[in-house]
Amino acid sequence: MTTPPTETTRQTPATRAFRRRRTSFAATVAAASLLVAVPATPAHADVIRAQQWALEAMHTDDAWRTTKGDGITVAVLDTGVDPTHPDLAGQVLTGKDLIGFGAKSGDRAWARHGTAMAGIIAGRGHGPGRDEGVLGIAPEAKILPVRVILEGTDPDRSKARKSRGGSLADGIRWAADNGADVINLSLGDDSESAHPEPGEDAAVQYALSKGAAVVASAGNGGEKGDRISYPAAYPGVIAVTAVDRYGTHAAFSTRRWYATVSAPGVDVVIADPDRRYYEGWGTSAAAAFVSGAVALVRAAHPDLRPAQIKKLLADTARDAPDNGRDDSTGYGIVDPAAAIEAGGKLDTGGGDTKDKATGYTKQYFGRGPDNASDQSEPAAWLAPLAGGLGALLLAGAVVLWRGGPVIGRRRPR
Protein backbone atom coordinates (compact mmCIF):
# COMPACT_ATOMS: atom_id res chain seq x y z
CA MET A 1 0.00 0.00 0.00
CA THR A 2 1.22 3.48 -0.81
CA THR A 3 1.44 6.14 1.86
CA PRO A 4 -1.77 8.23 2.01
CA PRO A 5 -1.28 11.78 0.68
CA THR A 6 -0.62 14.56 3.16
CA GLU A 7 -3.81 16.35 4.05
CA THR A 8 -3.78 19.97 2.98
CA THR A 9 -7.45 20.87 3.30
CA ARG A 10 -8.66 23.38 5.87
CA GLN A 11 -9.02 21.74 9.27
CA THR A 12 -12.48 22.67 10.50
CA PRO A 13 -13.67 21.63 13.96
CA ALA A 14 -15.66 18.70 12.57
CA THR A 15 -12.70 17.48 10.53
CA ARG A 16 -10.33 17.81 13.46
CA ALA A 17 -12.77 15.92 15.66
CA PHE A 18 -13.02 13.15 13.10
CA ARG A 19 -9.25 12.74 13.04
CA ARG A 20 -8.86 12.56 16.81
CA ARG A 21 -8.65 9.05 18.14
CA ARG A 22 -10.65 7.78 21.07
CA THR A 23 -9.81 4.69 23.05
CA SER A 24 -13.20 3.02 22.89
CA PHE A 25 -16.71 3.19 21.55
CA ALA A 26 -19.67 1.53 23.26
CA ALA A 27 -22.84 0.50 21.45
CA THR A 28 -25.56 -1.42 23.24
CA VAL A 29 -28.61 -2.57 21.33
CA ALA A 30 -31.81 -3.71 23.03
CA ALA A 31 -33.48 -6.91 21.87
CA ALA A 32 -36.91 -5.37 21.46
CA SER A 33 -38.23 -2.67 19.16
CA LEU A 34 -38.91 0.60 20.95
CA LEU A 35 -40.15 4.02 19.89
CA VAL A 36 -40.43 6.69 22.54
CA ALA A 37 -41.76 10.18 21.93
CA VAL A 38 -40.31 13.17 23.75
CA PRO A 39 -41.57 16.76 23.94
CA ALA A 40 -41.77 18.64 20.66
CA THR A 41 -38.94 21.01 19.88
CA PRO A 42 -38.89 23.61 17.09
CA ALA A 43 -36.56 22.78 14.20
CA HIS A 44 -34.72 25.20 11.94
CA ALA A 45 -34.39 24.77 8.19
CA ASP A 46 -30.74 23.82 8.38
CA VAL A 47 -30.80 21.59 11.47
CA ILE A 48 -30.60 18.34 9.50
CA ARG A 49 -27.75 19.50 7.29
CA ALA A 50 -25.84 20.82 10.28
CA GLN A 51 -25.83 17.34 11.80
CA GLN A 52 -24.47 15.64 8.67
CA TRP A 53 -20.94 15.60 10.04
CA ALA A 54 -19.87 12.94 7.54
CA LEU A 55 -20.06 15.36 4.60
CA GLU A 56 -17.28 17.49 6.03
CA ALA A 57 -15.33 14.59 7.47
CA MET A 58 -15.20 12.92 4.05
CA HIS A 59 -13.95 16.12 2.37
CA THR A 60 -16.91 16.17 0.01
CA ASP A 61 -16.43 19.85 -0.85
CA ASP A 62 -13.00 18.98 -2.26
CA ALA A 63 -14.41 16.08 -4.27
CA TRP A 64 -17.33 18.15 -5.54
CA ARG A 65 -14.94 20.60 -7.18
CA THR A 66 -14.44 17.83 -9.74
CA THR A 67 -17.80 16.03 -9.78
CA LYS A 68 -20.97 15.33 -7.86
CA GLY A 69 -21.59 12.00 -9.54
CA ASP A 70 -23.38 13.10 -12.70
CA GLY A 71 -23.81 10.27 -15.19
CA ILE A 72 -23.34 7.48 -12.63
CA THR A 73 -25.99 4.94 -11.61
CA VAL A 74 -25.85 3.33 -8.19
CA ALA A 75 -27.99 0.23 -7.70
CA VAL A 76 -29.36 -0.04 -4.16
CA LEU A 77 -30.19 -3.69 -3.46
CA ASP A 78 -32.35 -3.38 -0.39
CA THR A 79 -35.94 -3.14 0.82
CA GLY A 80 -36.99 -0.72 -1.91
CA VAL A 81 -36.60 3.05 -2.26
CA ASP A 82 -39.29 5.72 -1.95
CA PRO A 83 -39.00 7.77 -5.17
CA THR A 84 -41.42 10.40 -3.86
CA HIS A 85 -39.26 11.45 -0.94
CA PRO A 86 -38.45 15.16 -1.41
CA ASP A 87 -34.72 14.56 -0.97
CA LEU A 88 -34.74 11.95 -3.75
CA ALA A 89 -37.18 13.52 -6.20
CA GLY A 90 -35.92 12.96 -9.73
CA GLN A 91 -33.04 10.77 -8.56
CA VAL A 92 -34.70 7.35 -8.56
CA LEU A 93 -34.88 5.30 -11.75
CA THR A 94 -37.36 2.54 -12.51
CA GLY A 95 -36.05 -0.51 -10.72
CA LYS A 96 -36.97 -4.11 -10.07
CA ASP A 97 -38.93 -5.86 -7.31
CA LEU A 98 -37.62 -9.41 -6.94
CA ILE A 99 -39.79 -10.16 -3.91
CA GLY A 100 -43.20 -9.36 -5.37
CA PHE A 101 -45.16 -9.24 -2.13
CA GLY A 102 -45.03 -7.75 1.34
CA ALA A 103 -45.52 -4.13 2.37
CA LYS A 104 -46.48 -1.58 -0.26
CA SER A 105 -45.89 2.13 -0.70
CA GLY A 106 -47.50 3.96 2.20
CA ASP A 107 -47.15 1.05 4.62
CA ARG A 108 -44.92 1.60 7.64
CA ALA A 109 -42.82 -1.47 6.82
CA TRP A 110 -42.00 -0.39 3.28
CA ALA A 111 -38.67 0.83 1.90
CA ARG A 112 -37.33 2.36 5.10
CA HIS A 113 -33.83 0.89 5.04
CA GLY A 114 -33.47 1.25 1.27
CA THR A 115 -34.63 4.88 1.30
CA ALA A 116 -32.15 5.66 4.06
CA MET A 117 -29.30 4.18 2.01
CA ALA A 118 -30.36 5.98 -1.15
CA GLY A 119 -30.39 9.28 0.72
CA ILE A 120 -26.84 8.76 2.01
CA ILE A 121 -25.67 8.01 -1.52
CA ALA A 122 -27.56 10.51 -3.67
CA GLY A 123 -29.85 12.70 -1.57
CA ARG A 124 -30.25 16.21 -2.98
CA GLY A 125 -32.03 17.90 -0.10
CA HIS A 126 -35.07 20.08 -0.72
CA GLY A 127 -36.51 23.51 -0.06
CA PRO A 128 -35.07 26.90 -1.04
CA GLY A 129 -31.52 26.40 -2.24
CA ARG A 130 -31.87 22.72 -1.30
CA ASP A 131 -30.51 23.58 2.13
CA GLU A 132 -33.01 21.38 3.95
CA GLY A 133 -33.04 17.61 4.36
CA VAL A 134 -30.36 15.04 3.59
CA LEU A 135 -27.57 15.70 1.10
CA GLY A 136 -25.83 12.61 -0.24
CA ILE A 137 -22.18 12.02 -1.05
CA ALA A 138 -22.94 11.89 -4.79
CA PRO A 139 -26.01 14.14 -5.12
CA GLU A 140 -26.05 14.05 -8.92
CA ALA A 141 -25.88 10.26 -9.23
CA LYS A 142 -29.00 8.24 -10.01
CA ILE A 143 -30.41 5.47 -7.83
CA LEU A 144 -31.51 2.16 -9.35
CA PRO A 145 -33.65 0.41 -6.70
CA VAL A 146 -33.69 -3.39 -6.60
CA ARG A 147 -35.92 -4.91 -3.92
CA VAL A 148 -34.26 -8.12 -2.74
CA ILE A 149 -35.32 -8.31 0.91
CA LEU A 150 -38.11 -7.16 3.21
CA GLU A 151 -37.93 -4.96 6.26
CA GLY A 152 -37.54 -6.74 9.58
CA THR A 153 -40.99 -5.49 10.61
CA ASP A 154 -42.73 -6.77 7.47
CA PRO A 155 -45.11 -9.66 8.40
CA ASP A 156 -44.16 -11.39 5.13
CA ARG A 157 -40.46 -11.47 5.88
CA SER A 158 -40.49 -15.15 6.86
CA LYS A 159 -42.31 -16.01 3.65
CA ALA A 160 -39.67 -14.13 1.65
CA ARG A 161 -36.88 -15.97 3.42
CA LYS A 162 -38.37 -19.29 2.40
CA SER A 163 -39.39 -18.49 -1.16
CA ARG A 164 -37.00 -15.82 -2.44
CA GLY A 165 -33.62 -17.29 -1.52
CA GLY A 166 -32.06 -16.41 -4.87
CA SER A 167 -33.16 -12.77 -4.94
CA LEU A 168 -29.80 -11.29 -4.00
CA ALA A 169 -27.91 -13.14 -6.74
CA ASP A 170 -30.63 -12.34 -9.26
CA GLY A 171 -30.64 -8.71 -8.17
CA ILE A 172 -26.89 -8.34 -8.59
CA ARG A 173 -27.06 -9.77 -12.11
CA TRP A 174 -30.09 -7.64 -12.99
CA ALA A 175 -28.39 -4.48 -11.76
CA ALA A 176 -25.22 -5.27 -13.72
CA ASP A 177 -27.29 -5.82 -16.87
CA ASN A 178 -29.32 -2.65 -16.42
CA GLY A 179 -26.75 0.09 -16.21
CA ALA A 180 -25.42 -0.05 -12.66
CA ASP A 181 -21.95 1.45 -12.33
CA VAL A 182 -21.92 0.75 -8.58
CA ILE A 183 -23.88 -1.87 -6.64
CA ASN A 184 -24.56 -1.09 -2.97
CA LEU A 185 -25.21 -4.07 -0.67
CA SER A 186 -26.05 -2.71 2.78
CA LEU A 187 -27.11 -6.16 3.89
CA GLY A 188 -25.69 -9.55 4.72
CA ASP A 189 -25.59 -12.65 6.83
CA ASP A 190 -23.21 -13.11 9.76
CA SER A 191 -25.22 -15.78 11.54
CA GLU A 192 -23.62 -18.97 12.86
CA SER A 193 -24.86 -20.79 9.77
CA ALA A 194 -23.51 -18.22 7.31
CA HIS A 195 -21.59 -19.67 4.39
CA PRO A 196 -20.65 -18.66 0.86
CA GLU A 197 -23.46 -19.18 -1.64
CA PRO A 198 -22.26 -20.20 -5.12
CA GLY A 199 -25.02 -18.27 -6.87
CA GLU A 200 -24.17 -15.06 -5.04
CA ASP A 201 -20.45 -15.50 -5.56
CA ALA A 202 -20.98 -16.07 -9.28
CA ALA A 203 -23.27 -13.03 -9.47
CA VAL A 204 -20.65 -10.82 -7.82
CA GLN A 205 -17.99 -12.01 -10.27
CA TYR A 206 -20.41 -11.41 -13.13
CA ALA A 207 -21.05 -7.83 -12.00
CA LEU A 208 -17.31 -7.17 -11.67
CA SER A 209 -16.72 -8.57 -15.15
CA LYS A 210 -19.36 -6.16 -16.47
CA GLY A 211 -17.50 -3.25 -14.87
CA ALA A 212 -19.76 -2.64 -11.88
CA ALA A 213 -18.01 -1.98 -8.56
CA VAL A 214 -19.63 -3.91 -5.69
CA VAL A 215 -19.73 -2.42 -2.17
CA ALA A 216 -21.02 -4.23 0.93
CA SER A 217 -21.29 -3.64 4.67
CA ALA A 218 -18.75 -5.62 6.70
CA GLY A 219 -21.31 -6.65 9.32
CA ASN A 220 -22.57 -5.49 12.70
CA GLY A 221 -21.20 -8.44 14.67
CA GLY A 222 -18.27 -6.75 16.38
CA GLU A 223 -19.73 -7.41 19.81
CA LYS A 224 -21.16 -10.78 18.84
CA GLY A 225 -18.14 -12.79 17.81
CA ASP A 226 -16.98 -11.03 14.64
CA ARG A 227 -18.44 -13.76 12.47
CA ILE A 228 -17.82 -13.65 8.73
CA SER A 229 -20.50 -11.78 6.81
CA TYR A 230 -21.61 -12.44 3.25
CA PRO A 231 -21.68 -10.85 0.68
CA ALA A 232 -18.91 -8.69 2.19
CA ALA A 233 -16.47 -11.61 2.20
CA TYR A 234 -16.74 -12.47 -1.50
CA PRO A 235 -13.60 -11.70 -3.56
CA GLY A 236 -13.68 -8.36 -5.35
CA VAL A 237 -16.21 -6.76 -3.00
CA ILE A 238 -15.29 -3.45 -1.37
CA ALA A 239 -16.14 -4.34 2.24
CA VAL A 240 -16.75 -1.40 4.57
CA THR A 241 -16.41 -1.12 8.34
CA ALA A 242 -17.79 1.72 10.46
CA VAL A 243 -16.11 4.53 12.39
CA ASP A 244 -17.53 7.32 14.53
CA ARG A 245 -17.02 11.06 14.11
CA TYR A 246 -13.65 10.81 15.87
CA GLY A 247 -12.36 8.26 13.37
CA THR A 248 -12.56 5.48 15.97
CA HIS A 249 -13.63 2.00 14.96
CA ALA A 250 -17.22 1.42 16.08
CA ALA A 251 -17.47 -1.44 18.56
CA PHE A 252 -20.38 -3.05 16.70
CA SER A 253 -18.48 -3.15 13.39
CA THR A 254 -17.19 -6.60 12.41
CA ARG A 255 -13.41 -7.09 12.29
CA ARG A 256 -12.35 -9.47 9.53
CA TRP A 257 -9.70 -9.99 6.87
CA TYR A 258 -11.96 -8.74 4.10
CA ALA A 259 -12.25 -5.16 5.41
CA THR A 260 -11.20 -2.76 2.64
CA VAL A 261 -11.88 0.71 4.02
CA SER A 262 -13.99 2.36 6.70
CA ALA A 263 -16.53 5.18 6.63
CA PRO A 264 -18.94 7.00 8.96
CA GLY A 265 -21.42 4.65 10.57
CA VAL A 266 -22.34 6.30 13.87
CA ASP A 267 -24.80 9.19 14.42
CA VAL A 268 -25.65 9.23 10.73
CA VAL A 269 -28.64 11.34 9.65
CA ILE A 270 -31.04 9.40 7.43
CA ALA A 271 -34.21 10.11 5.49
CA ASP A 272 -37.33 7.99 5.97
CA PRO A 273 -40.52 7.52 3.93
CA ASP A 274 -42.45 8.95 6.90
CA ARG A 275 -40.75 12.31 6.06
CA ARG A 276 -38.93 12.41 9.37
CA TYR A 277 -35.16 12.30 9.75
CA TYR A 278 -33.55 9.77 12.03
CA GLU A 279 -30.06 9.40 13.39
CA GLY A 280 -28.71 5.89 13.52
CA TRP A 281 -25.74 3.58 13.24
CA GLY A 282 -24.54 0.58 11.27
CA THR A 283 -22.13 -0.70 8.66
CA SER A 284 -25.10 -0.33 6.33
CA ALA A 285 -24.57 3.42 6.44
CA ALA A 286 -20.80 3.06 6.08
CA ALA A 287 -21.25 0.99 2.91
CA ALA A 288 -23.63 3.59 1.47
CA PHE A 289 -21.09 6.36 2.08
CA VAL A 290 -18.46 4.35 0.23
CA SER A 291 -20.84 3.61 -2.64
CA GLY A 292 -21.31 7.36 -2.96
CA ALA A 293 -17.55 7.84 -2.90
CA VAL A 294 -17.12 5.21 -5.63
CA ALA A 295 -19.76 7.02 -7.69
CA LEU A 296 -17.67 10.20 -7.50
CA VAL A 297 -14.52 8.35 -8.54
CA ARG A 298 -16.32 6.65 -11.44
CA ALA A 299 -17.77 9.96 -12.61
CA ALA A 300 -14.31 11.53 -12.64
CA HIS A 301 -12.61 8.46 -14.17
CA PRO A 302 -15.20 6.39 -16.03
CA ASP A 303 -12.63 4.02 -17.55
CA LEU A 304 -11.34 2.67 -14.24
CA ARG A 305 -12.07 -1.00 -13.61
CA PRO A 306 -13.59 -2.27 -10.33
CA ALA A 307 -10.27 -3.76 -9.22
CA GLN A 308 -8.52 -0.44 -9.80
CA ILE A 309 -11.18 1.46 -7.87
CA LYS A 310 -10.90 -0.88 -4.90
CA LYS A 311 -7.12 -0.51 -4.80
CA LEU A 312 -7.40 3.25 -5.32
CA LEU A 313 -9.65 3.63 -2.28
CA ALA A 314 -7.20 1.57 -0.22
CA ASP A 315 -4.15 3.49 -1.41
CA THR A 316 -5.65 6.92 -0.72
CA ALA A 317 -7.46 6.17 2.56
CA ARG A 318 -6.76 8.51 5.48
CA ASP A 319 -5.67 7.57 8.99
CA ALA A 320 -4.18 4.28 7.85
CA PRO A 321 -3.36 1.80 10.63
CA ASP A 322 0.26 1.62 11.79
CA ASN A 323 0.86 -1.57 9.83
CA GLY A 324 -0.86 -0.24 6.74
CA ARG A 325 -4.01 -2.27 7.26
CA ASP A 326 -5.99 -3.99 10.00
CA ASP A 327 -9.26 -5.86 10.30
CA SER A 328 -10.99 -3.00 12.11
CA THR A 329 -10.75 -0.24 9.52
CA GLY A 330 -9.11 -1.91 6.53
CA TYR A 331 -6.67 0.48 4.91
CA GLY A 332 -8.19 3.49 6.62
CA ILE A 333 -11.03 6.00 6.18
CA VAL A 334 -12.23 6.49 2.63
CA ASP A 335 -11.27 9.83 1.06
CA PRO A 336 -13.05 10.38 -2.28
CA ALA A 337 -11.21 13.63 -3.06
CA ALA A 338 -7.81 11.95 -2.70
CA ALA A 339 -9.00 8.97 -4.74
CA ILE A 340 -10.20 11.24 -7.54
CA GLU A 341 -6.86 13.04 -7.64
CA ALA A 342 -4.84 9.82 -7.65
CA GLY A 343 -7.17 8.18 -10.17
CA GLY A 344 -6.02 10.50 -12.92
CA LYS A 345 -2.58 8.88 -12.83
CA LEU A 346 -3.73 5.30 -13.35
CA ASP A 347 -3.46 3.30 -16.55
CA THR A 348 -6.98 2.26 -17.57
CA GLY A 349 -6.06 0.03 -20.48
CA GLY A 350 -6.35 -3.76 -20.57
CA GLY A 351 -6.12 -6.19 -17.68
CA ASP A 352 -8.57 -8.37 -15.84
CA THR A 353 -11.66 -6.81 -14.30
CA LYS A 354 -11.56 -9.18 -11.33
CA ASP A 355 -9.95 -7.92 -8.17
CA LYS A 356 -6.51 -9.47 -7.64
CA ALA A 357 -5.85 -7.56 -4.41
CA THR A 358 -7.55 -10.23 -2.30
CA GLY A 359 -4.91 -12.81 -3.16
CA TYR A 360 -7.67 -15.25 -4.05
CA THR A 361 -6.69 -17.29 -7.08
CA LYS A 362 -9.71 -19.54 -7.69
CA GLN A 363 -12.41 -18.51 -10.11
CA TYR A 364 -15.12 -18.47 -7.44
CA PHE A 365 -15.17 -18.22 -3.67
CA GLY A 366 -17.68 -20.97 -2.90
CA ARG A 367 -18.50 -24.11 -4.82
CA GLY A 368 -18.96 -22.12 -8.02
CA PRO A 369 -21.91 -21.43 -10.31
CA ASP A 370 -22.02 -25.00 -11.67
CA ASN A 371 -23.49 -26.10 -8.37
CA ALA A 372 -25.78 -23.14 -7.88
CA SER A 373 -28.84 -25.16 -8.85
CA ASP A 374 -28.03 -27.81 -6.21
CA GLN A 375 -29.00 -25.57 -3.29
CA SER A 376 -31.63 -27.22 -1.13
CA GLU A 377 -32.29 -24.26 1.15
CA PRO A 378 -32.76 -20.50 0.79
CA ALA A 379 -29.55 -18.52 0.53
CA ALA A 380 -28.08 -17.80 3.95
CA TRP A 381 -27.95 -14.04 3.33
CA LEU A 382 -31.65 -13.87 4.14
CA ALA A 383 -30.87 -14.50 7.78
CA PRO A 384 -30.74 -11.27 9.81
CA LEU A 385 -27.49 -9.35 10.08
CA ALA A 386 -26.78 -8.40 13.69
CA GLY A 387 -30.39 -8.09 14.68
CA GLY A 388 -32.21 -7.83 11.39
CA LEU A 389 -31.86 -6.00 8.14
CA GLY A 390 -34.02 -2.93 8.20
CA ALA A 391 -32.91 -2.32 11.76
CA LEU A 392 -29.24 -2.07 10.86
CA LEU A 393 -29.32 1.68 10.59
CA LEU A 394 -32.54 2.79 12.27
CA ALA A 395 -31.19 2.02 15.69
CA GLY A 396 -30.03 5.18 17.40
CA ALA A 397 -31.27 8.47 18.73
CA VAL A 398 -33.48 10.39 16.34
CA VAL A 399 -32.80 13.92 15.16
CA LEU A 400 -35.08 16.86 14.49
CA TRP A 401 -37.66 16.77 11.77
CA ARG A 402 -38.31 20.20 10.34
CA GLY A 403 -41.57 21.57 11.65
CA GLY A 404 -42.10 18.52 13.85
CA PRO A 405 -41.00 16.88 17.06
CA VAL A 406 -37.87 15.24 18.22
CA ILE A 407 -38.78 11.57 17.95
CA GLY A 408 -37.44 9.22 20.58
CA ARG A 409 -35.19 6.21 20.24
CA ARG A 410 -35.62 3.39 17.81
CA ARG A 411 -33.96 0.07 18.48
CA PRO A 412 -33.81 -3.10 16.44
CA ARG A 413 -35.56 -6.36 17.10
Percentage of the chain modeled with pLDDT above 90: 68
Q: Which of 175, 163, 168 is nearest to 96 (CA)?
A: 175
Q: Report pLDDT for 389.
A: 34
Domain residues for 180? 52-389
Residues near 381 by Cβ (< 8 Å), separated by ≥ 6? 168, 187, 188, 189, 197, 200, 230, 231
Q: Is 213 contained in some domain? A: yes
In a domain, 64, yes or no: yes
- Residue 229 and residue 199 in contact, taking contact as beta carbons nearer than 8 Å: no
Phi, psi of 83 (to 5 degrees): -75, -10
Residue 31 lies in a domain: no
Among 37-46, 151-160, 229-238, the minimum mean pLDDT is found in: 37-46
- Which one of 253, 284, 291, 328 is the catalytic residue? 284
pLDDT in tens, 310-328: 999 999 999 999 999 999 9
Q: Does 402 fall in a domain?
A: no
> What is the tally of structural domains in the chain?
1
Domain harbouring 304, CATH code = 3.40.50.200
Q: Is residue 374 part of a domain?
A: yes
Lowest-confidence pick of 25-39, 112-126, 182-196, 303-317:
25-39
Q: Which residues have CB under 8 Å from 88's CB, separation 6+?
A: 81, 82, 115, 118, 119, 122, 123, 124, 143, 271
Round to whole Å and give the CA distance between 152 and 143. Answer: 22
Residue 105 has a CB neighbour count (10 Å cut-off) of 11
In a domain, 331, yes or no: yes
pTM: 0.80
Please report, for residues 1, 2, 215, 313, 365, the alpha-carbon distance to residue 326 in angstroms, rounded to integers and kept in the order given: 12, 15, 18, 15, 22
Q: Is residue 93 part of a domain?
A: yes
Question: Any catalytic annotation for residue 209?
Answer: no
Q: Is position 44 annotated as part of the catalytic site?
A: no
For the question of residue 253 being annotated catalytic, the response is no
Amino acid residing at 72? I
What per-residue confidence (pLDDT) applies to 349?
Answer: 59
Asked if pLDDT for residue 17 goes beyond 70, the answer is no
Q: What integer best gives the mean pLDDT of the chain?
A: 80
Q: Which of 113, 126, 249, 301 is catalytic?
A: 113
**44, pLDDT greater than 70:** no
Structural domain includes residue 103: yes
